[in-house]
Chains A and B, each alone.
Chain A
Amino acid sequence: MTSLPASTDKALGLVIDLDTCVGCHACVVNCKEWNTGGYGAPLGDIDPYGAEPVGAWLNRIHTFEVSPDDAPASIVHFPKSCLHCSDAPCVTVCPTGASYKRSDDGIVLVDESMCIGCGLCAWACPYGAREMDPVENVMKKCTLCVDRIYNDNIPEEDRVPACVRTCPAGARHFGDFSDPQSDVSQLVAERGGFDLMPEMGTAPVNKYLPPRPKTKPDSGAERRIEPEAAKADGFLGWLDQALEKLG
């Protein structure tokens, strides 16, 4: 068993805006290309040009169809990566101490030198956010780009997770949730950000912003342009007045 820190100085994490995510996979692929040459073992791919290509990814997009009774069906794109839970079951289940949560910033990491590839953490994670690397057989997970966010070798403005920097729609935000004034805390407060599956008791740091309500085809059914031009001679009659106004 591995213990969690009683508290962390910061609570770094992501806000993901489900109202804005178009499901383009930019974050998914940029994450892979950054991380395959960085922290820990590469993100391997088995049979990459064959019948059953399978690779390790730290971030995936799931697409759901929602079919309410009183509105047309809609699609929600749902990006999912490690939520860096405050009460992370993947850490406490780890038999070697390889999985741990940093007390500085709350990032959950795997020390690959200690990982025996038993996979217990992946079983314990209710979100399915960890993936065993198919080539190295070591557990991989989102590091919140710990090798970017403090990295003196890259410009300060780029010291954010790769998925945040690359997201074309601006649907991903990075910051410190322990600070109520931070941009991410404010966004969560304004937009009703929510925890993923709070009933699991994991206290995830990452938050999701819900899709805004959609206009239904039949909403405002009475609304139409008030025909100010409703004169006996119709639109062309109105036109005379419009031209008069222009002179």
Chain B
Amino acid sequence: MVDLAQKFDVLVIGGGNAALCAAISARRSGASVLVLEGAPKFYRGGNTRHTRNMRCAHDAATEILTGPYTEQEFWDDLLRVTGGQTDEELARHMIRESKDILGWVVEQGVRWQPSLGGTLSLGRTNSFFLGGGRAMLNALYLTAEQIGIAIAYDAEVTDLRIEDGMFLSATLKQPIGGATEIRAATLVAAAGGFEANIEWLKQYWGEAADNFLIRGTPYNRGSILKTLLAKGVQEVGDPTQCHAVAIDARAPKFDGGIITRHDSVVFGIVVNKHAQRFYDEGEDIWPKRYAIWGRLVAAQPDQIAYIIFDSTVLNSFMPTLFPPIKADSIAELAGKFELDAAVLEKTVTEFNAAVRPGTFDHTILDDCRTEGLTPPKTHWARKIETPPYYAYPVRPGITFTYLGTRVNKQARMVMKDGKPSANMFAAGEIMAGNVLGKGYAAGIGMTIGSVFGRIAGREAAQNARN
């Protein structure tokens, strides 16, 4: 074990993609580096464990990418999903740097694979980690060990000593090797958002937050973010907002991961606990609808909803972890969820009556729609009339939060007075709100993590030398 009483050039708080990219980049720039991961070894890496791919710009097809994805196209996509809530200069800088990241992470041991089943729509824009996010992390950690980066697990930081925008030391909850106060010349904060902090979420969502499920790590409690903001770092991003998708209500409270997601909305109808429909299930195609149903369910009573479909579409979507609940009649199905049977029968009957004939194609905005129904189902509407009937109960699954620390192009934190911090940098979800103020595009969280992690590490190392 490394002596933690020594003063390090770079202290990285966090243990995910951004943290490891920062640590490796700082170490390769000649700095001594300590990584403090608050989670135990198995859970190291925060939400990176649950990721799968990264969105990088590239000018030509590669072995694993089917075609070019230009900087301009990436920018257009980002502009669209954020509705303009992004820092253009910073975002364009990130997109430019992302081109280089594709090769850089491979030099750090990460391996790519072509996109396969169920993800072909991302085959041109996104590079997939062979073996998934945890495999990517394992590779980064192996590299970090090999090049002499000190890593401590179960190393929760409870406080930071910061004076006039200058980081001095970090306080550990429990001493490691006798040390509780960690000193370093520079700090890279890469400790994620606060999505696993239900109390904090309640500030904005009230008691409804008790019914939220957290898709990723239970360790993203936002304590580093909170401390930084309390000690003069400028905030960025809407604190009240988080990214949420509809996931199975039977999923565990934390860390259920990718496999609890549902995308059968398009194949049926969605009702709330009063057995009433509440939104157009056919409004948009994946991935946009993927990203809206979490908030839609969050706005319903008790934050629960039910996706209802019939036997004709049972095999039309990816197999699910939790099997759908099955019944021979709509009334029986209602009984299994304590829904009012008469109301659900009426909802389904009215829906069926409103369905107009059309040619079903779930890959485009097809012409199967309802008429005279409120809310309408504007695409992919087909009658639910072939028993047995099925339902998935769904709840909001929180992926990440948008609130973060403001940074500049060096990934250097910006203080409330607008001045750059003397020696503090941030990377990953903790500063994602700078470029992603709203919405989401697949794989962009990893881009933010790797690009700003690499920049933060390099800059911190240089800062430590001066």
A and B are interacting partners: no
Binding site for B on A (CB under 8 A): none
